Chains A and B, each alone.
Chain A
Amino acid sequence: MKQIIALAVAASFFAGGAFAQSGQVPDNLEKLSGFKTTGVTEFTFIEQGGDYAVGIEKTLERISLPDGFKIELYAVVPDARHMAVGPQGIVTFVGTRKDKVWSVTDRNKDRVADEVKDFAPSLTFSIPNGPCFSKDGFLYIAEQNRVLLFPAAEFFYESPDVAAFNLVAKGDLIPPDEESFNHTARVCRIGPDGKIYISLGQPFNVAPADKLDLYNKWGIGGMIRLNLDGTGREVYTYGIRNSVGHDFHPATGELWFTDNQVDGMGDDIPPGELNRQTAAGQNFGHPWYGGGDTRTNEYKGEEPPADTVMPVVATVAHAADLGMHFYTGRMFPEKYKHAIFSAQHGSWNRTTPVGARVMVTFIDDQGNAAIEPFAEGWLDEATGEYLGRPVDVAQLPDGSILVSDDLAGALYRISYTK
């Protein structure tokens, strides 16, 4: 009911054209929350097509996929990170680790985007990596230290001034003294319980002992959840190092997430992780474990929590498993139903680089999971050079999937024909 009123107010405001000009204020959020205009009218548009797109398309010729699948350039999107596809299928929002959120629109529905422009240009964002949608069309954007919500974003994004509200005000997501740039690519998803789940990476390679109490209180190195009106915040997951992708199993409703593991222990340990959480408050082992059952040197003599949950899948070390999505579409063959598509960003410090590919994980009736490459070829193995680095996977209404790439600055679409 509250949401309906907000929408009605927003709609009547925009329809009425009651735009009042006024001077600059430091925080435009105040104006947008009051359905006022900010005076900012300029969008930044990103050129689609052209030489840049041709270069990306050349890379895509190298990508191998299972029979029947093909990959095409969907949009040029600078610094493209995590994605949120609008429930109406009108627009896809794409986060970055910089200061922009991009809106990507395929107006003529030829499955290639026609327009890419910045979202809510009057707002000052800081690492707006994580957009997510509720079923009823509210867009949430998780930043470094704030979460904003935008009612009916799929309709209002065409205006530079879009109604915006704090879900978690600036400085309230984590203590400002704990802010960092690394391990701060936040991801959000709305769970089957109607709460928003937000991952909070801890900023160290191995979390130091003197920080653990503080971090556990805030859910840093974990996952928090809260109600969509901002109340009821609690820590849902403990013992994560830096998770940059999670989703809920469409049938069981259980939370699954990737986690990036400790560096500096060798090329082949510890493994990356795909985890399954079956109850609130579970602990996934960081900092006692560096990944899988590999103990960290820093906590070698310590007793890990007795109830530590081990990963369902141990992935190749240092490949950097990031965004993930459970497939629920009808386009792909039956065996992909409820499989996980996930992105490996690629290693940054392994002697021989590994990753930069899209993986698929099949889960059997007993809950056993097996991971294998799905789309690969962004790593030029002859030179060790990355031609692209996949970040996230999302699903379009037609059942095709989008893959974001923050090195090339692009979204790809993978589709299937029999």
Chain B
Amino acid sequence: MRRAILLGLGGLMLAGAAPAFSGDPAAGRKVANMCRTCHGLDGFARIPIAPHIGGEPESYLQRQLRAFKSGARRHEMMTVVASGLSERQMDDVSAWYAAHKATASLPAGTDPANAPEACTACHGVDGIALFEDAPNLAGETNIYIDTQLKAFKRGKRTHEIMNGIAEAMSDEEIRAAADWYASVEFKVDAATK
């Protein structure tokens, strides 16, 4: 029941014209100068090791930035970046990237039935997340997804749902899931200013 409600809200969020942000997207655009070399100004990643963050749910981005800042999640570059951001800046830049619209489409001839079963309930068949707590996976570099799943599997990254799911996957299943979402055609439409 809860899931159905969340799904409904998620649908509204993604389809809605002007979602309300807790941060200020215009102020976040300036903060994004620190992010653009890797994540792009519109959140379409410019290097393979960085994920696409354009059109990601605002609350997901806020949580990840705070996790990098607190040390709960670690990354060689992001730990350095987040350590210098204020609460306000984290909210603003999250709002900036959330304000863009992410769209995904399966490559022609792909059978949706082959999508990785363990992932689709939250991340969607096409990698556009169905819950605020889940990131989009569409079009990410397969090695990025592979790396995150292995980090969950080995306990280097923690999440109440993801650790259990990744532990149940073999390295081959992890790579297959990564390949599936990496093959999705992904696009970010920039927010209007």
Contact B37 A386 (CB under 8 A): yes
CB of B130 to closest CB in A, whole Å = 26
Complex CA gap A124/B182 in Å reads 14
Of the listed stretches B58-66, B118-126, B136-144, chain A binds: B136-144
| A26 / chain B contacts, CB cutoff of 8 Å | 172
Contact A181 B147 (CB under 8 A): yes
Inter-subunit contact B143/A98 (CB<8 Å)? yes
Q: Does B79 contact A (CB under 8 A)?
A: yes
Q: Closest approach, in angstroms, between the C-beta of A144 and any C-beta of chain B?
A: 8
Q: Which of A97, A124, A353, A384 contacts B49 (CB 8 A)?
A: A97
Contacts of A180 in B (CB 8 A): 76, 147
Sorting the interface of chain B by its residue count into under 10, 10 to 19, 20 to 34 or 35 or more gives 20 to 34
Judging by beta carbons under 8 Å apart, are A99 and B83 in contact? no
Report whether A263 and B143 are in contact in the complex, using a CB–CB cutoff of 8 Å: no
Contact with A along B125-163 (1 / 0, CB 8 A): 000000000000000011110110010001000000000
A203 at the interface (CB under 8 A from B): yes
Asked if A371 lies at the interface with its beta carbon under 8 angstroms from chain B, I say no
Beta-carbon contact of A181 and B77 below 8 Å: no
Count: A-B pairs, CB below 8 Å: 64
Measured in the bound complex, the distance between the Cα atoms of B76 and A157 in whole Å is: 37
On whether A181 and B83 interact (CB within 8 A), knowing A97-B48, A407-B46, the answer reads no
Max chain A Cβ within 10 angstroms of own Cβ: one of B48, B49, B146: B48
Do A205 and B48 contact each other (CB < 8 Å), given the known contacts A99-B143, A126-B146, A181-B147? no
Q: How far, in whole Å, are A99 and B76 apart by their CA atoms in the complex?
A: 22
- The answer to whether B2 has its CB under 8 Å from any CB of chain A is no
The segment from A186-194, A225-233, A297-305, A344-352 found at the interface with B is: A344-352
Contacting residues, chain A, for B75 (C-beta < 8 A): 182
- B37 & A353 in contact (Cβ 8 Å cutoff): yes
Residues of A within 8 A of B38 (CB): 348
Q: Does A204 contact B (CB under 8 A)?
A: yes
Is the beta-carbon distance between A182 and B49 smaller than 8 angstroms?
A: yes
Q: For the complex, would chain B's binding face be called helix, strand, loop or mixed by DSSP majority?
A: helix
Known: A348-B38, A384-B33. A183 touches B142 (CB 8 A): no
Residues of A within 8 A of B142 (CB): 98-99
The one of B47, B80, B144 that contacts A406, using a Cβ cutoff of 8 Å: B47
In the complex formed, the residue of A with least CB distance to B81 is A349
Looking at the assembled complex, report how far the CB atom of B156 sits from the nearest CB atom of chain A, in whole angstroms.
8
* B34 proximal to A (CB < 8 A): yes
Task: Please determine whether A181 and B34 come into contact, CB atoms closer than 8 angstroms.
Answer: no
> Secondary structure at chain A's binding surface: helix, strand, loop or mixed?
loop
A264: Cβ under 8 A from any B Cβ: yes
Residue of chain B at shortest CB distance from A124? B175
A181→B37 contact, CB < 8 A: no
Name the residue on A nearest B38 (C-beta).
A348
- Expressed in whole angstroms, the minimum distance between the Cβ of A115 and any Cβ of chain B is 23
Number of interface residues of A (CB under 8 A): 30
Looking at the assembled complex, report how far the CB atom of A158 sits from the nearest CB atom of chain B, in whole angstroms: 26
Looking at B37, B83, B146, the one whose CB has the most chain A CB atoms below 10 A away is B37
Chain A hits for B144, CB < 8 A: 181
Whether the pair A182, B76 counts as a contact (CB closer than 8 A) is yes
Beta-carbon contacts under 8 Å, A381-409 to B: 384, 386, 406-407
Query: Taking A205-B79, A264-B83, A348-B77 as contacts, is the C-beta distance between A181 and B172 under 8 angstroms?
Result: no
Instruction: Scan B48-87; emit 1 where CB is below 8 A from any A CB, else 0.
Output: 1100000000000000000000000001110111011000
On whether the beta carbons of B79 and A181 are closer than 8 Å, the reply is no
Nearest residue in B to A201 (C-beta to C-beta)?
A: B76
Asked if A79 is at the interface of the complex by the 8 Å CB criterion, the answer is yes
Contact of A126 among B47, B143, B154 (CB under 8 A): B143
Q: How far is the CB of A182 from chain B (nearest CB, A)?
A: 5
Residues of chain B contacted by A348 (CB below 8 angstroms): 37-38, 77
Cβ distance A56 to chain B, nearest Cβ, rounded Å: 15
Determine whether the beta carbon of A349 is less than 8 Å from that of B76.
no
- Does A127 interact with chain B (Cβ within 8 Å)? yes
Knowing A98-B142, A177-B154, A346-B37, the reply to whether A183 touches B76 (Cβ < 8 A) is yes
Rounded to whole angstroms, the CA-CA distance of A204 and B150 in the bound complex is 17
Q: Is the CB of A98 within 8 A of B81?
A: no
Give the distance to chain B from A252, nearest Cβ to Cβ, in Å.
Answer: 34
Question: Which residues from A are CB-within-8-Å of B146?
Answer: 126
CB of A179 closer than 8 Å to a CB of B: yes
- A180 CA / B144 CA spacing, docked (Å): 9
Chain B residue numbers with a CB within 8 Å of A346 are 37
CB within 8 Å for A349 and B143 given contacts A205-B76, A205-B79: no
Asked if A204 meets B37 with Cβ closer than 8 Å, knowing A97-B49, A126-B146, the reply is no
Report the minimal beta-carbon distance from A269 to chain B, rounded to whole angstroms: 14
B48 to chain A: closest residue by CB: A97
Alpha-carbon distance A127/B141, docked complex (angstroms): 10
Q: Please give, as numbers and ranges, the residues of chain B lying within 8 Å of A182 by CB-CB distance.
A: 49, 75-77
Is B147 in contact with A349, judged by CB distance below 8 angstroms? Answer: no
Chain B residue at minimal CB-CB distance from A202: B76
Given A98-B48, A182-B49, A384-B33, 4 other A-B contacts at CB below 8 A? Answer: A97-B143, A205-B79, A349-B80, A406-B47
Name A's B-contacting residues (CB within 8 A). 26, 79, 96-99, 124, 126-127, 144, 177, 179-183, 203-205, 263-264, 346-349, 353, 384, 386, 406-407
Please name the 7 residue pairs, one residue from A and one from B, whose CB atoms are nearest each other, closest first.
Answer: A264-B80, A181-B147, A348-B37, A97-B48, A263-B80, A181-B49, A205-B76
8 A–B pairs (Cβ distance < 8 Å), ordered by A: A97-B47, A98-B143, A179-B147, A179-B150, A180-B76, A182-B77, A264-B84, A349-B37
